[in-house]
Amino acid sequence: MRQSRLLTKTKKEAPSDEVAKNAQLLIQAGYIYKNMAGAYSFLPLGLRVIEKINNIIREEMNSIGGQEMYMPSLQEDRLWKLTDRWSDENVDVWFKSELQAGGQVGFGWTHEEVVTDIMRQYVSSYKDLPFSAYQIQTKFRNEVRAKSGIMRTREFWMKDLYSFCATQEQHDEFYEAAAKAYERIFDRIGIGEKTYKTFASGGAFSKFSHEYQTLAEAGEDIVYVNEKKGIAINEEVLGEADLSELGVTREELVEAKSIEVGNIFSLGTKFSEAIGLTFKDEKGENRPVIMGSYGIGPARSMGTVVDLLSDEKGIVWPESIAPFRVHLVALNTDDQEVKDWADGIYTVLQKEGVEVLYDDRDARPGEKFADSDLLGIPYRVVASRKGKEQGTFEVVTRKTGEVRNLSEEELLADFDDEE
């Protein structure tokens, strides 16, 4: 991608109406656009990041047997009345609308009811179980406050997976596999070290549920952590009995702000009983399916990465989710020979399958470097007159500031090895 053709431009200043660091940096760098409070556009650069995150999530969900599907946002009231989740008294985040044909629809803020209803068509015997299905889809929630940039919006992507099991053992096994997959996801997107599987209350069907909480000053949540023991607990399970079951004391736990990037939840038979999702067991008896639900917010995860890993110069993307791997910055572009040399390496890198953003603009070096730091692409490759004379490119690692001067051959070998 040539930066001169990129439809977005960086801004000199961060937007003054944003308080959240993630939104300030992402808007300033041209990744996102704020349409209104709680609703953002993902521009080409931002969408590239989200798609990388989504693909990591997909790979990990597929690896535990999840089958991808897609369900509509529009939801009929009938199903939600069966679970008592239609009324605004019981659920305070509904967006609803009137149908011209008569009746009401809601915009899905989660999909347990819908997915349970669908599966009634396909589950009849224990032989049909277990399985799991997921989607990466838009949720609508009428959040009271939306001040955390892309971490809490009124329209957002969610990966929501639902598991369907015949027995508690099947469910527990899947739940554990999902927990491990979640750890791999947060490791791969670069926030694993600060993300804790956090014990939360489990509702009626299990002792605990688990939230994935990333320690961060910008967090809206509070958790109680023991970093040494690698354990975190949320407020709901701070009781003495719970703590002793988890093998910690209150004194060992430190209060910390955190961001909930995901959660996993045993649903038991709550939804299957209300909606009528049953199967015949080995004895031919009808039983309700045991379910679980597993959510992740891709944009909230992206915001968390920006919040955690950026520095005073701008964003620092981990390679796994960076919009491009290389930021090729051409200097002295008024010199045709230097320009050709830069164009040449651009073509070669592309041919080698390296994702490159090519700053081919006529601008001063200082401006180009500042933009490059702000954009946060992992490797900056500088093509300059001096470099051309010496036959080398200056390669700067964004995260560490390490500088190396590499010949074309060395450069290509370097990007080859790490693939």
Residues that bind ligand ATP (CB under 6 A): 110, 141, 143, 152-153, 156, 158, 260-263, 295-297, 299-300
Nearest approach in angstroms of CB 307 to ligand ATP is: 13
Tell me which H or E stretch contains 121: none
Nearest approach in angstroms of CB 110 to ligand ATP is: 6
Looking at beta carbons, which residue is closest to ligand ATP? Answer: 297
Shorter beta-carbon distance to ligand ATP: residue 294 or 317: 294
Shorter beta-carbon distance to ligand ATP: residue 3 or 263: 263
Nearest approach in angstroms of CB 92 to ligand ATP is: 11
Nearest approach in angstroms of CB 259 to ligand ATP is: 8
Shorter beta-carbon distance to ligand ATP: residue 260 or 359: 260
Shorter beta-carbon distance to ligand ATP: residue 21 or 388: 21
Residue (of 327, 368, 314) closest to 13 by Cα position: 314
Shorter beta-carbon distance to ligand ATP: residue 195 or 372: 195
Shorter beta-carbon distance to ligand ATP: residue 174 or 265: 265
Nearest approach in angstroms of CB 298 to ligand ATP is: 8
Place of tokens 């939840």: 265
Contact 21, 306 (CB under 8 A): yes
Residue (of 169, 167, 142) closest to 155 by Cα position: 142
Shorter beta-carbon distance to ligand ATP: residue 150 or 331: 150
With 0-12 CB in 10 A as exposed, 13-18 as middle and 19+ as buried, what is 338? Answer: buried
Contact 385, 39 (CB under 8 A): no
Tokens of 332: 């002295």
Place of tokens 């008896």: 285
Contact 45, 172 (CB under 8 A): no
| Residues facing residue 32 across a β-bridge | 42
Tokens of 60: 């990990």
Nearest approach in angstroms of CB 200 to ligand ATP is: 9
Length of the chain (residues): 419
Tokens of 155: 């329209």
Nearest approach in angstroms of CB 26 to ligand ATP is: 14
Nearest approach in angstroms of CB 297 to ligand ATP is: 3
Q: How far from 50 is each of 32, 156, 409, CA to CA, in Å? A: 11, 11, 32
Residue (of 50, 57, 1) closest to 26 by Cα position: 50
Shorter beta-carbon distance to ligand ATP: residue 154 or 388: 154
Contact 306, 318 (CB under 8 A): no
